[in-house]
Amino acid sequence: MTDPLVRDPKVRGWCPSAHRPMMSGDGLVVRVRPRMARLTADQVLGLCDVAERFGNGTIDLTNRANLQVRGVAEDDHQALLADLAALDLLDAEPGVETKRNILVSPLNQDGDLTTRLANNLTARLGELPDIPAKFGFAVDTGPSRLLTSNSADIRLERGQDGLILRADGVPTGRLVTEDEAIDRLIELTQWFCKNYGTETRRMARLTRDLPLPSIWQGAAPDPVGLALQPGVADVGPIYGAPFGALPARALADLMQASKAIALRVTPWRLFILEGGTNVTTNAFVTTANDPLLTTDACPGAPFCPQAEVSTRDIALALAPKVAGSLHVSGCAKGCARQLPADVTLIGADGRFDLVKHGRAGDVPCQRGLTPETLMSMDLT
């Protein structure tokens, strides 16, 4: 239940991009969308340099597998764009960048079905109608489905009888061939654009109000696969980024020490060093049972102008004390986590409101808690 007493923080209807950054408390937030969720080693080192020269020295890994440079001065924006273009990390046209909201399985292999579909979709983005800024696509056609809980409106997935195209929020999809998959995806996007409204700007929300035509349903997807965890995978070692934060210098050092040929990003605050060796590091999570993997915290004050508290210090301190998931939010928007958490703390006037088994914005069971009080409480 939504808390009637919480403030109404401004929810923006768009996400930052490189061409269209968003102003935050510490400067511009500039988003980079890696193609195929992958950056070469040279691109990673170049982006780390950009983050140190123009930003606050930390790269954010988002829940859509994008990367963000924060704290950029407005006067530096054009110079930063020039560097991103030189690294081949910038779409020439802002319109293409906006539509290239494509989530792919991070375990893709060169030339496989995921790569072919994602490349074909990217090549045909210009054929899509005008879509809402947060509307996106998932190509989840690896050995098992991994992206079912991640934000996407139209999904290409392996089904029990072959490749399927599925509208988010609907349990089954439409059986398609690889050759026709992008044609059908464009058609489904057109159906959405003809029907969505101000309150139904995402597919799952629209299909709750308007039944999806039966032609787009009926084919069952494959079961969901096991979630990735820090450790060693066939493609390379997997590391976790606490709160999605990648300190640029630490990341550059890790890339060079591991001799990885590329960095693969994921929407789970995990990254993979493709072809690299496993290197010990204190900057990133290396074990599957680390409580920071189930802890979410937004940048908080003073980095976000809507945040009413500092978030990450208290999240670091409380993570070992919470048996399940922990979400520390600077305000009631809850940007860092949309799903319920076992323990959610919401900033209010320099203190915290507590929600058990809910989201930021739900009715708290306790209000006005100080960090000292929280550290002495039983939060299980």
Is residue 198 helix, strand or coil? coil
Structure confidence at residue 26 (pLDDT): 82
Is the separation of the CB atoms in 201 and 168 below 8 Å?
A: no
Q: Is the pLDDT of residue 93 over 90?
A: no
Is the separation of the CB atoms in 64 and 103 below 8 Å?
A: yes
In a domain, 99, yes or no: no
Q: Is the pLDDT of residue 4 over 70?
A: no
Q: What is the DSSP string of 163-186?
A: EEEEETT-S-BEE--TTTHHHHHH
Quote the CA–CA distance of 321 and 35 in Å, as a whole number. Answer: 38
Same domain, 296 and 370: yes
In a domain, 31, yes or no: yes
Instruction: Determine the average pLDDT of the residues in 248-268.
Output: 97
Mean model confidence pLDDT for the chain:
92
Same domain, 282 and 297: no
Instruction: Determine the average pLDDT of the residues in 223-233.
Output: 94
Q: Is the dihedral of CA 182, 184, 185, 186 positive or negative?
A: positive
In a domain, 337, yes or no: yes
Sorted by sequence, the CB contacts under 8 Å of residue 28 that are 6+ apart come out as 16, 21, 22, 70, 71, 72, 73, 74, 77
Structure confidence at residue 6 (pLDDT): 46
Structure confidence at residue 313 (pLDDT): 94
In a domain, 253, yes or no: yes
Q: Tens digits of per-residue pLDDT, 123-150?
A: 999 999 999 988 999 999 998 999 999 9
In a domain, 102, yes or no: no
Hey, what are 231's tokens?
A: 């450790």
Quote the CA–CA distance of 71 and 23 in Å, as a whole number. Answer: 9
Q: Tens digits of per-residue pLDDT, 179-192?
A: 999 999 999 999 99
Closest listed residue to residue 54, CA positions, set 38, 31, 77: 77
Closest listed residue to residue 3, CA positions, set 379, 354, 339: 354
- The bridge status of strand 326-329 relative to strand 295-297 is parallel
In a domain, 165, yes or no: yes
Structure confidence at residue 24 (pLDDT): 84
| High-pLDDT (> 70) share of the chain, % | 96
Same domain, 241 and 191: no
Q: Tens digits of per-residue pLDDT, 298-332?
A: 999 988 888 999 999 999 999 999 989 999 999 99
Q: Is the pLDDT of residue 13 over 70?
A: no
Structural domain boundaries, residue 158: 107-216
Q: Is the pLDDT of residue 176 over 50?
A: yes
Give residue 269's identity as a one-letter amino acid code: R
Instruction: Determine the average pLDDT of the residues in 16-36.
Output: 89
Greatest Cα pair distance, the chain, in angstroms, is 60
Q: Tens digits of per-residue pLDDT, 72-92?
A: 999 999 999 999 999 999 987
